[in-house]
Amino acid sequence: MGTAAIRAIQAACIGRERLLGHDMVYVAIKMKFRHPTAGRKLSFAWHLLDGTQRKMGGRNMAALGFRAVTGMVLVGALFSSMSYAQQACDRACLTKVIDGYFAALVAHDPTKLPQAAKARITENGAEKKLAQTFWESSREVVYRWDIVNTKRGDTGTEVVLRNADGSKTMMMLRLKVINGAITEIESIKCNKGEAGGLWNPDALTTVSPRLTLSLREAERDSYYDLIGATESYWRAFQTNGTPAYRRARLAADSDRIENGVHTTGLTVMRDGRPNDTARGFDEGSFIGRNLWDRRYAVVDEERGIVLTILRFGLKAGAKSQSTATAADRLVGEFFAIQNGWIREINAVLFNMPDAMPTGWPTTDYGPGKVSAE
C-alpha cells in the first residue's frame, strides 16, 4: 500500500482515534496497515465499532470499558496477523532455505541465493560478503544435519564438504530467516590443521539417530529446560578443578565428537578404562579454561538440540595445564538432550585468538573474556 493511501486511511481514522482516546490503536494502524491480513481484520473491527456507535445513538463512547475492548480488538487483530507472518516458515520451509545455501556454495554462485542479498555475514568472526565465503574447490556435501527453531526463524547445521583435491572442510552454519529473507549468516569453517589435532571428518559418514529425533510434544524438554541442561555443561567446564565445581547433566552413556574426533564416551578408552564424558571435568583436566562470549543461538525443541556458539580461552592469570586447553578457539557446539540429560555433543572448532572478535553481540549470561571465575 502506498504512502498516499496510508495517509488517507490515517485521515479517515482521526475521528475514531479521538473517540477511542487510545493512541496505541492509531500508532498500530500507521505501522501495520500494510499487512493485507491485518487490513482485513481491521476492517472487520471498524465495522463492529461503527455498529456500536450507531446503537449508542451518537452518545459519548469514550468510556474506559469501551476503549479497552475496542483497543483489544484492533491491536489483537494486528498482532495476531504479525505473529502469523513470523511463524509462516515451518521446518520444511527452513530446511529448503538451508538447501539453497549449500546449492549456491557448491555452485560457487551467490546469485543463486537472492534471499541473502541484504544479510549480515561472518565467517570465523570476520565480516564478509557472501561471495567471499564460497570457495572454488568445493564440490559436494558428504555429511549434514540441521536443527531449526520455527518460532524464531533460526537454523543450525553441521556439515562436511568434499573439495576438488579430495580434502574436506567442516562447517557450522547458522542462518536467521525472516519473512523468507536470510538476514544473518554465521559460519565456523575449519580445514585440516586449523584446530590442532582435532580432525577426523572421514569418521562422519552416518548421522547419529540422537540428532534426528522427532519428539512427541509430551516428551519434549521446554526451550528453557534445554538451555538449562546446556548451561550445566558450561558451568561444569568453567568450574572443574575448583571448590565451585558442579557436575553437568551428562547421561552416563553420552558421547562427545569434536571435528569428527570421538573424544569421550563409553567406547572411547583412556588409561585402560572408558573415557566417559564427565570424567575430564571430575578430574579437573580443564582447570583454567574460560568459556566466554557464549550464545544459545538455536534451540530446537522438537529435536531436543541446542546450538551454543562461544569462545574457548584461558581465565585471567591462568596457564594452560595441557594441550587440551592450550589453544584459543571459536566453537559451535550442539547438545542433544532428552529428559534433561545431555546424550550427545557435536562440535566444530577453529583455533582463533581471544583478541579477535566474533562479530556478533553476546546477550546471554556468562563470563567475560578476562574472567578469573
| All structural domains of the chain with their residue ranges | 3-86, 91-199, 209-351
Residue 167 C-alpha from the chain's centroid: 29
Q: For residues 238 and 325, give the distance between their C-alpha atoms in angstroms, rounded to a whole number.
A: 12
Q: How high is the pLDDT of residue 86?
A: 55
Instruction: Tell me the fold of 91-199.
Output: Nuclear Transport Factor 2; Chain: A, (3.10.450)
How many secondary structure helices (H) and strands (E) does the chain include?
A: 8, 14
Task: Count Cβ atoms within 10 A of the Cβ of residue 114 and give its class: 0-12 exposed, 13-18 middle, 19 or more buried.
Answer: exposed
CA angle 215, 220, 221 (to 5 degrees): 145
* β-strand pairing of 194-197 with 181-190: unpaired
CATH architecture of the region 209-351: Roll (3.10)
pLDDT of residue 279: 97
**pLDDT recorded at residue 325:** 73
Cα–Cα distances in angstroms (integers) from residue 84 to residues 77, 79, 151, 231, in the given order: 11, 8, 10, 31
Encode the chain (373 residues) as per-residue pLDDT tens digits.
555 544 554 554 444 444 344 444 433 434 443 444 444 444 444 444 455 444 445 445 444 454 544 554 444 544 444 444 455 799 999 999 999 999 999 999 999 999 999 999 999 999 999 999 999 999 999 999 999 999 999 999 999 999 999 999 999 999 999 999 999 999 999 999 999 999 999 999 999 999 999 999 999 999 999 999 999 999 999 999 999 999 999 999 999 999 999 999 999 999 999 999 999 999 999 999 999 999 999 999 999 999 999 999 999 888 777 776 789 999 999 999 999 999 999 999 999 999 998 889 887 777 888 676 7
Quick check: 260 and 267 in contact, CB under 8 A? no
**pLDDT for the residue 333:** 98
pLDDT of residue 25: 40
Query: d(Cα 302, Cα 92) in Å, to the nearest integer?
Result: 13
Which amino acid would we find at residue 77?
A: A
Identical fold, 91-199 and 209-351 = yes
Nearest to 306 by CA among 202, 234, 200: 234
Secondary structure class of 133 (helix, strand, coil):
helix
| Residues 113, 89: Cα–Cα separation, whole Å | 17
Q: How far apart, in whole angstroms, are the C-alpha atoms of residue 44 and residue 77?
A: 9
Using CA atoms, how far residue 228 sits from 201, 249, 296, 340, 361, in Å, is 30, 9, 10, 8, 21
* Predicted TM-score of the model (pTM): 0.78
> Alpha-carbon distance 133 to 122, whole Å?
8
Taking the alpha carbons of 56, 61, 66, 70 in that order, is the dihedral positive or negative? positive
